[in-house]
């Protein structure tokens, strides 16, 4: 019975690790998209510049929350 319990716990741990990695990858993609949106051509109309800059900072903030904060939480021992 304890072997089955150990296997079940190992499977849950693997699922948790995969879910964390996918979450971090999605957050890094949001960060990258935010930086891409901030790269504005000088010939761009001012309305589009404002939209791109605001959306770029939003994506950077969301990416930071999704990717970096869980990593920092794990490093400081808050998510055991």
* Structural domain contains residue 32: yes
Domain of residue 57 covers 2-75
The tally of domains found in the chain comes to 1
* Structural domain contains residue 20: yes
Q: What angle do CA 38, 46, 41 make, to 5 degrees?
A: 45
pLDDT of residue 23: 92
pLDDT of residue 51: 93
CA distance 37 to 57: 9
pLDDT of residue 5: 86
pTM over 0.85? The answer is no
pLDDT tens series, the chain, 80 aa: 688 888 889 899 999 989 989 999 999 999 999 999 999 888 888 888 999 999 999 999 999 999 888 888 888 885 55
* Structural domain contains residue 65: yes
pLDDT of residue 15: 94
Task: Work out the number of other CB atoms within 10 angstroms of the CB of residue 16.
Answer: 10
* Structural domain contains residue 80: no
């Amino acid at each position: 019975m304890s072997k089955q319990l150990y296997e079940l716990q190992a499977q849950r741990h693997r699922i948790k690790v995969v879910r964390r990695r996918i979450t971090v990858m999605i957050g890094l993609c949001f960060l990258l998209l935010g930086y891409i949106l901030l790269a504005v051509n000088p010939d761009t109309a001012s309305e589009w510049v404002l939209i791109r800059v605001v959306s770029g900072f939003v994506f950077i903030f969301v990416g930071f929350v999704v990717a970096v904060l869980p990593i920092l939480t794990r490093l400081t021992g808050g998510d055991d």
